[in-house]
Amino acid sequence: MIIWLLMSKKMIIWLLMIFNTAFGFYLPGVAPHDYFEGESVPLYVNALGATDDLLAYDYYDPAFHFCQPEGGPVPLRESLGSVLWGDRLYSSPFKLSFLKNTTCALACNPTTIPAEDAKFINQRIMENYNHNWEVDGLPAAEYQDESSFYTPGFDLGSILNEKSYLNNHFEIMVHYHKKDVSTYRVVGVVVTPRR
């Protein structure tokens, strides 16, 4: 009886230790970050994908001619879940500062896209490819007016009168909650793309 009691006490202590550490554990890359006013908020870009197609394209595939950050894109160290889902996160040229509104910020100088690459981009637009961006571990979403819900990712472009148009203007809204007097946490990101 005494041996059983000692073993059960050790078992209870062991279980309490496991239970206690479970509440203080975050997976790498998913722990919330506290932001201060004016602090830089990194926006990461991911592979472009389509709901009807399994083939994903690297965001910085040369055929897309997307703006790159100064010094070139830097890959983000990813969690096991990101690797299993096929994420390919990179730094972006978009500069966001917490609680600072910015309008008409140029990400890079305009460029001429060769006809072959324009054809490639138009085909991806027709195949309904999406941008997939991430801020503070949360996917950027687009609000769908006609169905009144948010969808992860947003359109690479649009088709009007059988012509494809590349979305190259973005309104980025970062939603947040106030944690305390001077710190905030990101709770959502909505992107409205325009051509």
Per-residue pLDDT of 154-185, as tens digits, reads: 999 999 988 889 999 999 999 999 988 889 99
d(CA 94, CA 59): 14
Are 57 and 127 in contact by the 8 Å Cβ rule? The answer is no
Backbone φ and ψ of 85, nearest 5°: -80, -5
Give the pLDDT confidence of 38-76 residue by residue, as tens digits.
Answer: 999 999 999 998 877 778 899 999 999 999 999 999 998
Answer yes or no: are the C-beta atoms of 129 and 159 closer than 8 Å. Answer: no
| pLDDT over 70, % of the chain | 78
pLDDT at residue 7 tops 90: no
Overall average pLDDT of the 75-103 stretch: 81
Taking 80 as the threshold, does the pLDDT of residue 145 lie above it? no
Are the CB atoms for 34 and 179 separated by under 8 Å? yes
139-to-9, 43, 77, 87, 94 alpha-carbon distances in Å: 45, 10, 16, 12, 15
Mean pLDDT of the chain: 82
Its pTM stands at 0.77
pLDDT of 122: 94
Of the listed ranges 75-79, 96-100, 119-123, 145-149, the one predicted with least confidence: 145-149
Contact 156, 48 (CB under 8 A): yes
Which of these, 178, 124, 109, 186, lies nearest to 155 by C-alpha position?
124
Q: 41 in helix, strand or coil?
A: strand
DSSP conformation class of 18: H
> In terms of C-beta density within 10 A (0-12 exposed, 13-18 middle, 19 or more buried), how is residue 134 classed?
buried
How sure is the predictor about 190, in pLDDT bands with cuts at 50, 70 and 90? very high
Residue 15: pLDDT above 60? no
